[in-house]
Amino acid sequence: MLIKLERRFGNILLLTLLLMTLVFSPTYAQEQTFIKRTIKKFVSSEKDSTRGASFIVLPAIGYAQESGVEYGIASTYNFYLDKADLNSRTSNITLIGTLTTKKQKNIKLLTDIWTQDNAYHILSELRYRDWPFNFYGLGSDTWLADEDFLEQQLVRAKIDVEKKVAPKWYAGVNANFEYFKFEDREPGGVFEQPDVLGKTGGQYLALGVSSLYDTRNNTTYTTHGFYSRLKYAYAPRFWGGDNFTGSQLEADVRGFHALSSQVTLAGQVLYRSTFGENVPFYTYRDLGGDMTMRGYYLGRYKDKNYATAQFELRYRFIPRLGIVGFGGTGSTFSQQHNLRFVPSFGGGIRYFFSLEHNSTIRFDYAFGEKRPGEKRQTGFYLSISEAF
């Protein structure tokens, strides 16, 4: 995610400044003028025949009452590890970092690497987050009036390594370490309910396995193909107290079908689960964000299980621009809290900053449900790459 603007309560003013300051491709002839190169990189419908890399930086500035002035960058570098192989998939490295005048920090480094002959698929994430967030309670029936403001510190290091064991099929291992620390700014709220475990934070190391079947024609902007990934991890009792011990399961299935040379129908079904004894709330699954159930504050509904389905109708009317309509539904749930499916729908614009890699900047506006006595939940998202 790059930037998210959510007009939820009317008490947050966030100004986003989006400026493309750098796009780099080493393949253009040195004698071309800067203006011609810039126009070609941003406007031209012509592909780079040398299969060169692309690099983009998006500076951002914002403001919120709880964080003060926020400033930082989001950048992504797309490349092929084997440019000679026309079947080589796009690899990318993404860095997102923002700071605030109240000394808060959010820094994330992501990699998605496909090696030579697509023999290995390697995913990694390094993240440090010192940032407040809103807690509404557990389950799928929380209310805005119960909003509880928490300070949070998060350290995350994760890696997935998958090896091709058959055509289109990968099997692999994964490791995920997370450390959390929380502080309740307003004691006496919903955060102090007895069913909320792990109030001061905790840490865990989960080790697991995964299986991926992937026939997509392109990993950045897919127009046809199928994707199915199953992932399981177990966190042993390395630490006592409220530290998590248990299992995590995720199933992600996607399908893409080209209705014409310009129109694609895409769909996704996603299930995530956390189970074990005395599961702390920081390992619960969150509904919302910029990838699934757009229109909801990430974590507005939080529980041990999360299921969602979404679809997109994508129309790329010229090589550099496209529009999208999307819709979906989802719910968190557990033995203590029933399923309550809520809607998500909206539309957006796509700008393709790299035609070689089909890499996009995504502008989405989404609507969620309108609960009695509350404003309709909505969200505006500026992101690098597609939602799925």
Tens-digit pLDDT profile for the chain (388 aa)?
444 444 333 333 333 334 444 444 445 455 556 666 656 666 777 766 678 899 999 887 777 666 778 899 999 999 999 998 999 999 999 999 999 988 899 999 999 999 999 999 999 999 999 999 999 999 999 999 999 999 999 999 999 999 999 999 999 999 999 999 999 988 889 999 999 999 999 999 999 999 999 999 999 999 999 999 999 999 999 988 779 999 999 999 999 999 999 999 999 999 999 999 889 999 999 999 999 999 999 999 999 999 999 999 999 999 999 999 999 999 999 999 999 999 999 999 999 999 999 999 999 999 999 999 999 999 999 889 999 9
Q: Which helix (H) or strand (E) holds 289?
A: none
Query: What are the C-alpha distances in Å from 22 to residues 37, 42, 74, 108?
Result: 12, 11, 12, 20
The SS3 of residue 242 is coil
Tokens describing residue 189: 């709220």
Closest by CA to 186, choosing from 138, 233, 134, is 134
pTM of the shown model: 0.86
Q: 283: which residues sit within 8 A by CB, 6+ positions away?
A: 198, 204, 244, 246, 248, 274
Q: Are strands 342-354 and 263-275 parallel, antiparallel or unpaired?
A: unpaired
How far is residue 71's CA from residue 85's CA, in Å, rounded to a whole number?
39
Model pLDDT, residue 23: 43
Q: 260: which residues sit within 8 A by CB, 6+ positions away?
A: none
Model pLDDT, residue 50: 76
Closest by CA to 100, choosing from 155, 134, 151, is 151
Residue 95 is which amino acid? Answer: L
How far is residue 119's CA from residue 328's CA, in Å, rounded to a whole number?
34
Question: What is the sign, positive or negative, of the torsion defined by CA atoms of 190, 249, 327, 17?
Answer: positive
**CA 136 remoteness from chain centre:** 21
- CATH number for 3-384: choose from 3.40.50.2300, 2.60.40.10, 2.40.160.50, 1.20.1250.20: 2.40.160.50
The CA angle 32-36-40, to the nearest 5 degrees, is 110
Long-range contact set of residues 86-93: C-beta below 8 Å, sequence gap at least 24: 87/118, 88/114, 88/116, 88/117, 88/118, 89/114, 89/118, 89/219, 90/114, 90/218, 90/219, 90/220, 90/357, 90/358, 90/359, 92/220, 92/357, 92/359, 92/385
Alpha helices in 27-176 (DSSP H): 34-42
**CA 369 remoteness from chain centre:** 21
